[in-house]
Structure 1
């Protein structure tokens, strides 16, 4: 069943949050929330969080940071990967274990830290990220959700792994098209909580990098394409 996106998928911005910070929230936070909770993605059982782990591959990305926070607050043990220079950042956002994704022994170290790991959210979606995330699963194939549409770059994930993608759902959401009733309710639930979470510090916005005007859009895309974006999100000021 599909339902149109309505006023319950908006939220009032607390005065403590700048407009630039606010610009990092809706798409990234909704993407992370649906990836974790949607029945069409990882479908984590929030009532059974204690003692269970989830891997956020690319924890210092904007989506990664918005995934770490609600997962850790719900009681999941969040394992994440990032550049070592961002380790303190992801720990401050709620990650329990942080590993260098370039470490040749990252899979062994993750398995030792989280032997029950069966769920991974790949916030990077490049040619090696989902396959690398799979290596951290101890035994069973588990489930991986990737931000790339059409489950791109998941060819090397072992057969039997449940692979889903996230971007199409949030594209529909942000473009105000129709989404499933279940996902609509999930996002409405999130945005209802966001103002209070921001006020109380339960949810911290990503660091914005502000670029001026529409003429800067090409520069932003180039920065993204060159892989230079790290631990911040580009926001355009109009």
Structure 2
């Protein structure tokens, strides 16, 4: 089968890690690799569409070992079914989700076929097209991991009594117009929260349409003070940008309550005493240990509760999507088929994507 496979160059990788930018061109190329064999608990998916995330080019540029298939977010149809998986899936079923792409030679979304744990995928409703379905991958499950599994908010789609939560909890989401931010806003609203977020002025209508109750311009040098003046007791926050000023702004919002901040990239030490940072990675949702850049790179243990959280979320997602309670972010279709993946990756590298997610149909 055809797949986008990592071919790292040592010098460009060192430069990327040292300078924070790509040098020497893409360290991945399309090549033919064996079709993955599936276990009794897996399904094989014929990939129809993929969504592109910053983590994909980060893996190509600095993380992936040689021979790894790139890509996390996918939508397609079931092509083969493992014997145990037949209780839940049939050949021809429409399916979508996310996988741990960029680290393994036999599992990655930017390929003709993809093997998936049968309980870590969701069935796509008939009225949802492949492009939209593909966006409910890394960004959506990251929002769930941060808000539900880590901050303890009620899971979307499950019965809970939000009437007793008076006043409604207030949450701060930095970077509301990112794909993760748009999902985080929706997940927080389903949990009964009042959502305060940041965005550029041109994205205010977008984040409001996804449920944000108040939007502040992150360009404002006094944005943190403005938020604290109106909402002085915010105790939980998610930083969906996790770069530059986002950490200090979020910490300032939380300083009065000595609250907790979830970050999507490794954070610095908290700006104020008592504020807590927790760095999360969607990859822990797949239930296996992993390491980047062995033997010296960071390791993550298997977290069984995270895996249970992903299965729980994807079990309820078809109904949430059918009921329009969780919406896909705006989709930017990249033409060109397989070559569109490379074009989309370059756009993400250059910071040219805002307010939606690039999707490529294959």
TM range (shorter): 0.7 to 0.9
Count residues with an aligned counterpart: 227
Give the equivalent residue in structure 1 for 2:224. 107
- Say whether the 8 Å CA contact 1:62–1:231 is kept in structure 2: yes
Supply the distance in 2 between the matched residues of 1:112 and 1:16 (Cα, whole angstroms): 44
Picking from 164, 186, 197, the partner of 1:69 is 186
- Say whether the 8 Å CA contact 1:111–1:138 is kept in structure 2: no
Supply the distance in 2 between the matched residues of 1:161 and 1:220 (Cα, whole angstroms): 37
Higher Rg: 2
Structure possessing the higher relative contact order (Cα contacts under 8 Å, 6 or more residues apart): 1
Compute the displacement of 1:45 (Å).
Answer: 6.4
Supply the distance in 2 between the matched residues of 1:159 and 1:222 (Cα, whole angstroms): 40
Give the structure with the higher percent strand: 2
Give the equivalent residue in structure 2 for 1:210. 333
Which blocks of at least 5 consecutive residues in structure 1 are unaligned? none
Give the equivalent residue in structure 2 for 1:42. 151
Picking from 28, 38, 44, the partner of 2:139 is 28
Compute the displacement of 1:111 (Å).
Answer: 1.6
Give the equivalent residue in structure 1 for 2:32. none
Q: Following superposition of structure 1 onto structure 2, how do residues 58-137 of structure 1 map, counting pairs within 5 Å?
A: 58-137=175-254
Supply the distance in 1 between the matched residues of 2:200 and 2:127 (Cα, whole angstroms): 29
Compute the displacement of 1:91 (Å).
Answer: 1.2
Normalized against structure 2, the TM-score is what? 0.58
SS in 2 for 1:231: coil
SS in 1 for 2:123: coil
Q: Deviations over 1:96-129 (max 9, x none)?
A: 1111111123222212332220111111111221
Q: CA RMSD in A?
A: 2.3
Q: Which moved more, 1:188-197 or 1:63-72?
A: 188-197
Residues 1:228 and 2:340 are matched in the alignment: no
Supply the distance in 1 between the matched residues of 2:148 and 2:230 (Cα, whole angstroms): 23
SS in 2 for 1:115: coil
Picking from 304, 308, 311, the partner of 1:181 is 304
Supply the distance in 2 between the matched residues of 1:54 and 1:233 (Cα, whole angstroms): 24
Normalized against structure 1, the TM-score is what? 0.85
Compute the displacement of 1:78 (Å).
Answer: 0.8
- Say whether the 8 Å CA contact 1:42–1:144 is kept in structure 2: no
Supply the distance in 2 between the matched residues of 1:157 and 1:226 (Cα, whole angstroms): 29
Give the structure with the higher percent helix: 1
